[in-house]
């Protein structure tokens, strides 16, 4: 421990603590701009300068390690003058016009720091050289006029996302933020995760969806889990007047600490499908608006029970709705098939393995954050479950070795140390070969480096996706377990949609056979139906669809009931690593549109069935592939 004095307060801190962190622990506020808790200290803006007794000049507290007996003053006149001077230089370096902006108050960190220092004015004029604004990117606008060269965005792109798209060209005052080697951001390697926009302290990087739409202090915040995939990133949904304004990552929240991908951050605001706002019933061959009573009567008359009835629910639905759905159709109506829209593809083989072993065998996503070797089996973390891909990519420059086994079009392959071609169906062959190579050595030039990396790494990780889960047979899975056992590798299964694992725990994993169905009950929620499902349902004589949006599937259904979309209902989600998290309602549904659970309760009432309400118990009734914990 190190003892030091900050503004007269004695404090003891751990070795390696910076003066800025020590000040924070002592309850002393030191203003910063380039610093961000999620990033490595940089010392670029000089706003955090402090007076250290015995030091020749002021020192940047963010990069200065605390040392024994240090006496620090953060409020000397010299420090206060330096802060104003630093801010004056920053303001005059580019073209900052927050002074004339009606809506910037409270939104801009640069402006807030200047207010904190009581700056009524500064003595230097702006640059008066206009810089081009680039709006080539679909979601992000880059405005070098407002850039303070703090490089938070560059460091975030590099350290947190591992994409290294952003960088600077030029030197000194002529440094400019660029994408790749100076190409328009819209044509760059950017993956649209938006971390740079969220971390920018000024308006140099803004998102097109929410910019210039009023003050940020003037919105409602809803801290909620993302429902776009099974990772379960925690995000803040910002709304104003029942309208989505923006989505941001929560820096302090597990498991991804503020990271989101384009699916979680930007695409929900691009939703342009037409809403289903009233019950629809097919009359004389065409769908017509109907009352709830008419629609429920039509369902009761056409659905039947038991044989020939198939029920499918989206894995984007809250666990409460999925459990109720299962109880209604499996326990009360004895439907032939009760499953999820994923039909267990992402989970069934793994759930079975957990049953066989009698215990959980997977590890949490966290193991991907610090590992020396990763073997990825049949999944493309650039395409989906992107944040898991960020965890891998950001470690590659630290020397983590990535090996990719899968189809040739896998986008992660270009970052890999080695690629093992793997066609669906041949999982067992590859894994058995790998096990043999670990046990007996190998001359195979493809396998040798994989084996070497897995064996030498302290905590190697084998991560697999839904293609693997759907195709791996018992031999493949046994080989996988053995490989993990031999190399000490942690197994991470990314699964499918947001509640893929909840569906697995409820046993909603059967395959849907449309040819055997005389009636089908489909809960799409806000999921866009696949062409395959739409086609399959064409064969089914009577189809009920619960959907937030119109689609070809709802167009072909016999009864359609409107339901809430993701932002309009609260509920629980079980992430790929067993984290039970809450999604919080952030918007009111259109008049007359109910949540999925409320809609199902109406249906149950019409069918005179009384499903069980104990959703949590039914979620825990089965051995999970990874321990479930309430977050």
Of 31 and 406, which CB lies nearer to other proteins in the complex structure? 31
> CB 123 → other proteins: shortest distance, Å?
7
How far apart CA 265 and CA 263 sit, in angstroms, is 6
- 464 backbone dihedrals φ, ψ, rounded to 5°: -135, 155
Q: Does 429 bind other proteins (CB under 8 A)?
A: no
Near other proteins in 125-164, by CB under 8 A: 125, 128, 130
Of 57 and 217, which CB lies nearer to other proteins in the complex structure? 217
Q: Does 81 bind other proteins (CB under 8 A)?
A: no
E-strand ranges in 46-93 read: 49-52, 59-60, 71-73
SS3 content of the chain, % helix, strand, coil (to 5): 35, 20, 45
Q: Is the dihedral of CA 256, 261, 266, 270 positive or negative?
A: negative
> CB 117 → other proteins: shortest distance, Å?
9
Binding range to other proteins, per CB under 8 A, among 102-110, 135-143, 179-187, 432-440: 102-110
Question: Cβ distance 146 to 203 under 8 Å?
Answer: yes
| End-to-end CA gap in the chain | 32
> CB 99 → other proteins: shortest distance, Å?
4
> Given candidates 17, 32, 61, 104, which one binds other proteins under the rule CB under 8 A?
104
> Given candidates 115, 357, 397, 539, which one binds other proteins under the rule CB under 8 A?
115
Q: Does 286 bind other proteins (CB under 8 A)?
A: no
Burial of 622 (0-12, 13-18, 19+ CB in 10 A): middle
Of 59 and 104, which CB lies nearer to other proteins in the complex structure? 104
Q: Does 440 bind other proteins (CB under 8 A)?
A: no
> CB 171 → other proteins: shortest distance, Å?
24
> CB 107 → other proteins: shortest distance, Å?
12
> CB 394 → other proteins: shortest distance, Å?
38
Q: Does 252 bind other proteins (CB under 8 A)?
A: no
Q: Residue 149, by phi and psi: left (phi above 0), alpha (psi -120 to 50) or beta? A: left
> CB 218 → other proteins: shortest distance, Å?
15
**Rounded to an integer, what is the distance from CA 366 to the centroid of its chain?**
14
Closest CA to 256 of 584, 510, 494, 512: 494
> Given candidates 12, 27, 97, 605, which one binds other proteins under the rule CB under 8 A?
97
- DSSP secondary structure, 187-215, as one string: GSS-----HHHHH-SSSSEEETTTTTSS-
How far apart CA 388 and CA 261 sit, in angstroms, is 10
Non-local (6+) Cβ contacts of 357 within 8 A are 481, 623
Alpha carbon distances (Å) from 144 to 31, 117, 165, 197, 216: 23, 25, 16, 13, 21
Q: Does 77 bind other proteins (CB under 8 A)?
A: no
DSSP letter assigned to residue 528 = P
> Given candidates 101, 183, 287, 305, which one binds other proteins under the rule CB under 8 A?
101
How far apart CA 624 and CA 286 sit, in angstroms, is 45
How far apart CA 250 and CA 259 sit, in angstroms, is 8
Q: How many residues would you count in the chain?
A: 631
Strand (E) or helix (H) holding 532: helix 531-538
Of 120 and 217, which CB lies nearer to other proteins in the complex structure? 120
* Bridging pattern class, strands 401-406 and 373-377: parallel
> Given candidates 111, 351, 505, 586, which one binds other proteins under the rule CB under 8 A?
111
How far apart CA 136 and CA 153 sit, in angstroms, is 18
Closest CA to 314 of 339, 349, 350, 279: 339
197-236 footprint of other proteins as x/- string (CB under 8 A): ----------------------------------------
116 forms beta bridges with: none
Of 71 and 119, which CB lies nearer to other proteins in the complex structure? 119
Binding range to other proteins, per CB under 8 A, among 112-120, 485-493, 566-574, 615-623: 112-120
Of 105 and 436, which CB lies nearer to other proteins in the complex structure? 105
> Given candidates 55, 80, 99, 173, which one binds other proteins under the rule CB under 8 A?
99
DSSP letter assigned to residue 406 = E
> CB 201 → other proteins: shortest distance, Å?
17
Binding range to other proteins, per CB under 8 A, among 44-52, 113-121, 226-234, 441-449: 113-121
> Given candidates 24, 93, 105, 436, which one binds other proteins under the rule CB under 8 A?
105
Q: Does 102 bind other proteins (CB under 8 A)?
A: yes
Of 127 and 442, which CB lies nearer to other proteins in the complex structure? 127
Closest CA to 14 of 64, 51, 68: 68
Of 124 and 411, which CB lies nearer to other proteins in the complex structure? 124
Binding range to other proteins, per CB under 8 A, among 43-51, 124-132, 183-191, 299-307: 124-132
Q: Does 10 bind other proteins (CB under 8 A)?
A: no
Binding range to other proteins, per CB under 8 A, among 116-124, 350-358, 474-482, 600-608: 116-124
The footprint of other proteins (CB under 8 A) covers 95, 97-102, 104-105, 111, 115, 118-121, 123, 125, 128, 130
């Amino acid at each position: 421990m190190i003892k030091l004095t900050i503004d007269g307060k004695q404090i003891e801190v751990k070795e390696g603590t910076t003066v800025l962190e020590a000040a924070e622990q002592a309850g002393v506020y030191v203003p910063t701009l380039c610093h961000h808790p999620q990033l490595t200290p940089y010392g670029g803006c000089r706003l955090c300068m402090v007076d250290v007794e015995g030091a020749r000049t002021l020192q940047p507290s963010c990069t200065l390690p605390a040392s024994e007996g240090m006496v620090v003053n953060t409020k000397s006149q010299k420090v206060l003058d330096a802060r104003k001077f630093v801010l004056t230089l920053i303001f005059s370096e580019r073209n900052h016009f927050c002074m004339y902006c009606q809506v910037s108050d409270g939104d801009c960190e640069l402006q807030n720091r200047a207010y904190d220092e009581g700056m009524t004015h500064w003595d230097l004029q702006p640059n008066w050289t206009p810089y081009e604004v680039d709006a080539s990117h679909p979601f992000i606008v880059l405005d070098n006029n407002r850039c303070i060269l703090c490089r938070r965005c560059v460091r975030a792109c590099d350290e947190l996302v591992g994409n290294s798209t952003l960088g600077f060209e030029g030197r000194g005052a002529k440094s400019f933020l660029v994408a790749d080697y100076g190409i328009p951001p819209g044509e760059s390697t950017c993956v649209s995760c938006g971390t740079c926009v969220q971390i920018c302290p000024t308006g140099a990087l803004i998102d097109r969806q929410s910019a210039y739409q009023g003050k940020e202090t003037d919105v409602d915040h809803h801290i909620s889990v993302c429902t776009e995939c099974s990772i379960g990133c925690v995000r803040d949904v910002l709304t104003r007047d029942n309208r989505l304004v923006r989505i941001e990552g929560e820096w302090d929240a597990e498991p991804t600490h503020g990271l989101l991908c384009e699916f979680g951050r930007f695409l929900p605001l691009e939703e342009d499908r037409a809403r289903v706002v009233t019950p629809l019933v097919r009359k004389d061959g065409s769908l017509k608006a109907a009352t709830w009573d008419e629609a429920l009567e039509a369902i009761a008359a056409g659905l039947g029970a038991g044989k020939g009835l198939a029920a499918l629910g989206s894995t984007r639905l809250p666990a409460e709705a999925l459990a109720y759905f299962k109880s209604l159709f499996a326990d009360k109506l004895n439907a032939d098939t009760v499953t999820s829209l994923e039909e267990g593809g992402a989970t069934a083989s793994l759930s079975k393995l957990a049953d066989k072993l009698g215990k959980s065998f997977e590890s949490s996503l966290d193991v991907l954050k610090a590992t020396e070797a990763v073997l990825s089996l049949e999944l493309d973390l650039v395409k989906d479950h992107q944040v898991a891909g960020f965890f891998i990519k950001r470690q590659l420059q630290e020397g983590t070795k990535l090996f990719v086994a899968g189809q040739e079009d896998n986008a992660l392959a270009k970052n890999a140390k080695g690629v093992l071609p793997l066609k669906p169906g041949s999982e067992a062959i590859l894994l058995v070969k790998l096990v043999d190579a670990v046990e007996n050595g190998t001359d195979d030039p493809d396998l040798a480096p994989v084996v070497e990396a897995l064996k030498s790494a302290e905590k190697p990780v084998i991560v697999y996706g839904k293609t693997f889960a759907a195709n791996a047979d018992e031999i493949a899975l046994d080989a996988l377990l053995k490989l993990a056992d031999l190399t000490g590798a942690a197994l991470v299964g990314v699964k499918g949609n947001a509640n893929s694992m909840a569906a697995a725990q409820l046993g909603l994993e059967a395959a849907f056979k449309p040819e055997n169905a005389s009636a089908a009950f489909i809960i799409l929620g806000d999921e866009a139906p696949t062409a395959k499902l739409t086609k399959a349902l064409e064969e089914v004589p009577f189809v009920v669809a619960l959907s937030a949006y119109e689609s070809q599937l709802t167009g072909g259904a016999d009864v359609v009931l409107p339901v809430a979309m993701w932002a309009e209902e609260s509920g629980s989600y079980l992430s790929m690593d067993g984290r039970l998290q809450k999604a919080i309602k952030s918007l009111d549904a259109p008049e007359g549109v109910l949540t999925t659970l409320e809609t199902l309760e109406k249906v149950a009432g019409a069918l005179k069935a009384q499903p069980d309400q104990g959703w949590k118990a039914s979620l825990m009734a089965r051995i999970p592939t990874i321990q479930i914990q309430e977050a």
